[in-house]
Structure 1
Amino acid sequence: MNKTELIRAHCKSLKLDGFLQVLEHEDFSATSHDEFLEALLSSQLTLNSERKIKRLTAQAKLKYEDVYLSDIDYGLCPSLKVNQVNQLGECHWVDTNKNVIIIGATGTGKTSLACRFAQEVIAKQQSVMFYRLSHLLLELVAADKEGELMKLLKKLTRFNVLIIDDWGNALMDKNERHLLFELIEYREQKGALLITSQYPISAWHETFGNETIADSVLDRIVHNSHRINLKGESIRKLLAERE
């Protein structure tokens, strides 16, 4: 094995695939050692970043994976403010553990917009997890019955952003609202929430069936949030009319 083959073998052993890409496709015979080293490191960092983003995207379990802020058709979303979208797309709200609440009727693009923001978060190599509220409640109840609630709360708190889709679509029983309160309280100031709902915030109390717990949960969510109100016709209907 000559020196070049030995170097490539070492790169494979150390999983330095970025180094291998440079060694196999570039000619650095006329460059300095510093330039050669910078090219190797830059290639590896780029590859590591791409892999992490791919892993974070798979882990997030987004309802829509191939949607981005850059491809929003504002003609279909007349109530959506470009400046607000761009500002939230910078993800400062994630760094400061604030929340985003997206309100709108069925078909106005709430979930799609949430997934677009999620992609911006992931592009910054921060973690996201997507849940429909009904599925999240099922997991909380199951974990509680199995004595694994704290384990699940810790897991959910590790995500920089927890998306809760379809908030308020069903009344919660006593145990469900207690468990949701536990989650919201446990995550407070440890991570951001991104919530979508068909219902205005003023109607959220009804889904809890308990004024005290509703006040406690909503106080932790609403007063620390950015809000987007989507209005207008169903995007699906508008797209169908275009065809």
Structure 2
Amino acid sequence: MLNKTTINQLHDLHLSAMAAAFIEQQEQPGPDTLPFDERLALLVEAEWLAKRSKRINRLVTQAGFRFPAVIEDIDYQGKHGISKPDVQRLCEGSYLRNKQNILITGPTGVGKTYLVSAIGRAACYQGTPVTYIRVPDFFVQLSDAQMEGRFTLLRNRLATVPLLILDDWGLRKFTLEESHEIMELFERRYDAASTIISGQLPCSAWHGLFPDPTLADAILDRVVHNAHKFNISGDSMRKTLADRDPD
């Protein structure tokens, strides 16, 4: 009776994993052979792991990654400009703690989106909130938010999320209005949060994306100087996968 009451109370406290672990302990032969503190530690660990897993899953879902990418599945064969040790170092998260950026450039199909999604997921595993968004969608979302009266809310969320991933950067030149919006974004994120940018154009060509050279200097100063930069080259992943497909 006492055990049943304890289990019900754990459920009432939303400690379901601890309750399940407690039941498991009761079903094991000779649970009393373990000291009380060890048994308690096992119960607490079960609940902690369950809550951590739920938080990670929630962060991954909220991030909106384009691919369900993980670093273990990254294919480095035929790639130049970034290595497995590079990615492992990035996934340790020091760039997040130091509020630094990551810039990944390279031709279409080389695997940039998969790579930034995998790095972003690794950040989620460390408990870091992440937002993934394609640059064209960034401006569409801002426009929609302005019409719906939630422009400031969206602007603040994108400016303050600990890790923002901007994919498909530089598909076209930015307008002056877009340039000012980008300037506002990076002015607020500078030395306050990390941003990962992925695009086809090398960083040396980014200045030409902006119509105002002075504005371009100001934006790039806030983006590039404290960033880890990787220019990737190699075979197209899409071509490689197509060649492997017998159909």
Considering the TM-score relative to the shorter chain, is it more than 0.5? yes
| Residue in structure 2 matched with residue 53 of structure 1 by the alignment | 56
Could you tell me how far apart the structure 1 residues matched to 2:97 and 2:151 are? Answer: 26
CA-CA distance at 1:242 after TM superposition? 3.4
CA-CA distance at 1:239 after TM superposition? 2.6
Contact 2:63 2:131 in 1 (8 A): yes
| Residue in structure 2 matched with residue 152 of structure 1 by the alignment | 154
Equivalence map 1:39-118=2 (5 Å): 39-65=42-68, 67-118=69-120
1:192 counterpart letter in structure 2: S
Contact 2:159 2:186 in 1 (8 A): no
Could you tell me how far apart the structure 2 residues matched to 1:121 and 1:224 are? Answer: 19
Point out the more displaced range, 151-160 or 130-139.
151-160
1:64 counterpart letter in structure 2: F
1:184 counterpart letter in structure 2: F
Could you tell me how far apart the structure 2 residues matched to 1:64 and 1:19 are? Answer: 33
Could you tell me how far apart the structure 2 residues matched to 1:82 and 1:104 are? Answer: 17
Point out the more displaced range, 171-180 or 191-200.
171-180
| Residue in structure 1 matched with residue 134 of structure 2 by the alignment | 132
| Residue in structure 1 matched with residue 217 of structure 2 by the alignment | 215
Could you tell me how far apart the structure 1 residues matched to 2:204 and 2:147 are? Answer: 32
| Residue in structure 2 matched with residue 33 of structure 1 by the alignment | 36
Q: Given the alignment, which residue of 181, 197, 203 partners 1:195?
A: 197
Could you tell me how far apart the structure 1 residues matched to 2:105 and 2:142 are? Answer: 24
Equivalence map 1:175-190=2 (5 Å): 175-190=177-192
Q: Given the alignment, which residue of 203, 208, 219 partners 1:206?
A: 208
Could you tell me how far apart the structure 1 residues matched to 2:155 and 2:120 are? Answer: 21
Could you tell me how far apart the structure 2 residues matched to 1:144 and 1:179 are? Answer: 13
Point out the more displaced range, 108-117 or 20-29.
20-29
CA-CA distance at 1:201 after TM superposition? 1.4
Could you tell me how far apart the structure 2 residues matched to 1:203 and 1:78 are? Answer: 20
| Residue in structure 2 matched with residue 15 of structure 1 by the alignment | 14
CA-CA distance at 1:240 after TM superposition? 2.5
Could you tell me how far apart the structure 1 residues matched to 2:159 and 2:208 are? Answer: 26
CA-CA distance at 1:156 after TM superposition? 1.8
CA-CA distance at 1:148 after TM superposition? 4.1
Could you tell me how far apart the structure 1 residues matched to 2:144 and 2:190 are? Answer: 22
Point out the more displaced range, 178-187 or 100-109.
178-187
Could you tell me how far apart the structure 2 residues matched to 1:79 and 1:179 are? Answer: 31
Structure 1, gaps ≥5 residues long: none
* Count, aligned residues: 241
Classify the secondary structure of the residue corresponding to 1:150.
helix
CA-CA distance at 1:145 after TM superposition? 5.4
Structure 2, gaps ≥5 residues long: none
| Residue in structure 1 matched with residue 2 of structure 2 by the alignment | 3
Q: Given the alignment, which residue of 227, 239, 242 partners 2:241?
A: 239
Contact 1:99 1:194 in 2 (8 A): yes
Point out the more displaced range, 88-97 or 151-160.
151-160
CA-CA distance at 1:139 after TM superposition? 2.2
2:67 counterpart letter in structure 1: Y
Contact 1:137 1:180 in 2 (8 A): no
CA-CA distance at 1:120 after TM superposition? 1.0
